[in-house]
A and B are shown apart, each in its own frame.
Chain A
Amino acid sequence: MNTSNHNYFTLLELTPECEIDTLVLEKNFQRLQSLLHPDRFVNADATRRLLAIQQSSILNDGYKILKSPLHRAEHLLQLQGIDTSVHKQIQLDGKFLIAQMEMREDLENLLLQGNAKGMIFMQKEVKKEITSVWAAFKIQIMAATYMAAKAQFHKLQFLYRLHDEIRAAEDKLLDT
């Protein structure tokens, strides 16, 4: 998602870490946005207004990325020069991949059955998995073993994607 070379931690005045204080993040974001936002430059010349749009956009991006645990994790890896794009990913845990495929098949069945309760239960399981993988990721980051951290990050990507798919399936059931 981040195709630029910005260090969003620096931009938002936070220490680059896995866990951040979201209240501080929000406060810093609002303070900076108050200074940079295009609303402050409505009467300025075209160049200044364009700069405001660009700076404000970058700030909005940074806030969104740091607020999301998954994107924050990715950003931490990118700051270490690790390429997080999918096609360069290392071999993932085979057992993990099979489990993911099975869960997706299960989800399809749940959708066909219209089983909302089953989906709620599955979502809980996925959230538990995310918590434990996140813990493993943190350990790797603190030990500065970034390739191992990258492996955990890709697992997180899978899990969050599954989380979204369960969400979408629940939406489908609600709309019918």
Chain B
Amino acid sequence: MALFTIAEPGQSTLITTPRRKRAAGIDLGTTNSLVAVANAGKAETIAGSDGSSLLPSIVHYRADDNIQVGVLSVPDESILATTSISSVKRLLGRGRKDIAYQLPYQLVDAPLGGMSCIKTAAGTVSPVQVSAEILKQLGLRAVTALGGELDGVVITVPAYFDEPQRQATRDAARLAGLNVLRLLSEPTAAAVAYGLDKRLQGTVIIYDLGGGTFDVSLMKLHNGVFEVLATGGDSALGGDDFDRAIAQWLVQQEQLKNIPVAGDYQKLLLQARSIKHGLSEKNETLACYGDWQGILDRKTYYQLVDPLIEATLKSCRRVLRDADIQIAEIAEVVMVGGATRCPRVREKVTAFFQKELLCSIDPDKVVALGAALQADVLVGNKYGEEMLLLDVIPLSLGVETMGGLMEKIIPRNTTIPASRAQEFTTFKDGQTVMTLHVLQGERELCSDCRSLAKFELTGIPSMVAGAARIRVTFQVDADGLLEVKAQEIVTGVNSAIVVKPAFGLQENEIETMLMTAYTNAAADKALRSLREKQVEADRHIEALEAALKADGDNLLDSAERIRLQQSINTLRQAAAGNDAGQIEQLTLGLNTLSVEFANRRMDMQIKTALAGHTMEELDHYIPKGVND
């Protein structure tokens, strides 16, 4: 492009202007995922080839190793040879015991009670790998839209996601080859979108009910500062549970004792979902299951889902108390997430907060838009609006103490980044090793909290019992991720720490997954490379044609002009094809062919610019960058 840019004296075509960085915001949702990009405070979601911004978070694994992302269902004949994995977000960082409901696919117990894997027609996969497939698709959308590799992404997570869930999300991004700038809380992302687009200010509630997770955040928005005062929720409560309630009711009507398995259950859930959507429009809807057929009316439906909605209101109550804010002080209640379209949810939330709800930005898209806005800023594209996001840790972090009790070290709703130091000592003479069990949660007993990791501190200098002073520092970064360091104060020795994460992937597991991903990625990469070459060729053609229109007639003779035009045509044809190598070669060829034309244009421009300046002025004219 520089070849065709003519600058004023004082500037130089040889100065490389810093390229605008390419960043995107990704909403990795339970039901649907989205990717968006932003520029100077304006964000837009990117649609796929079907024209929709929503990519269903479903990954189909086929026995022939074919992986398909985003289609709702596969053709009937493929069903037996396919495992369709939906709502994988619910499995990130979770063990077998955490899943209290039936799934349309089979889980495999992980060793040591770690993160469950899924049995598929193509072998066992980790929820991290499944999520990575979705992220790859979204990344590809962004690369195509922005015309090149991404410099970074912001990925959103539910505010109520704990440590293992966040780590798993980060691992999935790494597997997908994405550079994560920040893990951003979904409610905070929504607040950013409303703050920048709708100038939302004041003390607000963000009520975010997605497919599988619920968050409620109480925030203060003021002059570009987005401060979370308190957050609450349930990372296992969402629109999916409404579907399950309907599905259960259907099965009961049919008086079947056993709930169907696999593919049939998936179909049942999809049917339940469409019934749910139907009841948003009408007072009653036709429902059928197996041999049974009947009517599901709103009154019965409400009986089924009211307990779920009440659970969300309980979190709302808690969050108001944590922040010591009264309902009357709330300026706005913002609805986020597809499930907030449910009229009953709106009715109940309106009644609870006693005010009209704010949903002017599409509740399905608002999180991705906010993430894109932050990504644009974080990656380094400045445009003037200073934004400060102050988020909090949603659940208390602590350690196990005598008697299996949980002692809190960093309480919930502490603003992050946060750092706390605690001193521990030895209880036996000559003790050189100490185990620290780190947990997350609000309950008194360790068994009721989530075990994060067991840290083994070794290399403690041998001393009398109680003489050693081991200072353990707990540090939570801006992504909400924990790091633990330890130092023995008396001798100044840094104790080595071996982290045994309860749910995370071990480093070698990630390595293996990355290896597998590389082999599959070859195909991905080729496609991406082709796209890039096509975009580059288009750019060159566009610029050259513009230059020809402006100066082709006065600077080129007809033979030269025809040669250039032919070269353009050949390149244009190649760019419509699939041969990346050929496109690249022809682009280079076109470049070389047009150098002479560019030189003549530059000479002409300089002559025009210099005309009218005195010799003295020209003496002081120093073209910048030319001799660097």
Contacts and interface: CB of A to CB of B under 8 A. Distances in A.
A43 B380 contact: yes
B288 interface: no
Size category of the binding interface on chain A: 20 to 34
A57 B181 contact: no
A5 to B, nearest CB: 12
A37 interface: yes
A84 interface: no
A42 B180 CA distance: 10
A64 B420 CA distance: 13
B415 interface: yes
Interface stretch (B354-362, B382-390, B563-571): B382-390
B146 interface: no
Nearest to B477: A53
A109 interface: no
Interface string A56-74: 1110110110000000000
A86 interface: no
A33 B225 CA distance: 10
A53 B478 CA distance: 8
Contact of B388 (A34, A64, A175): A34
Nearest to B318: A171
Interface residues of B, number: 25
A34 B419 CA distance: 18
Contact of B477 (A4, A38, A63): A38
A53 B417 contact: yes
Given A30-B388, A38-B417, A57 B475 contact: yes
A39 B478 contact: yes
B20 interface: no
B379 A43 contact: yes
A99 interface: no
Most buried by B among A37, A39, A175: A39
B152 interface: yes
B321 interface: yes
A34 B418 contact: no
Contacts of A42: 152, 181-182, 378-379
Given A33-B390, A39-B389, A39-B478, A58 B378 contact: no
Given A39-B182, A53-B417, A30 B379 contact: no
Given A34-B386, A42-B182, A43-B379, A60 B415 contact: yes
A95 B418 CA distance: 40
A34 B377 CA distance: 13
Choose among A43, A61, A64, A174 the residue with the greatest number of B CB atoms under 10 Å from its CB. Answer: A43
B416 interface: yes
14 contacts: A30-B225, A34-B386, A39-B182, A42-B181, A42-B378, A42-B379, A53-B417, A54-B417, A57-B417, A57-B418, A58-B419, A63-B415, A64-B414, A167-B321
Interface of B: 152, 181-182, 225, 314, 317, 321, 377-380, 386, 388-390, 414-419, 421, 475, 477-478
Closest 3 CB pairs of A and B: A57-B419, A38-B478, A60-B415
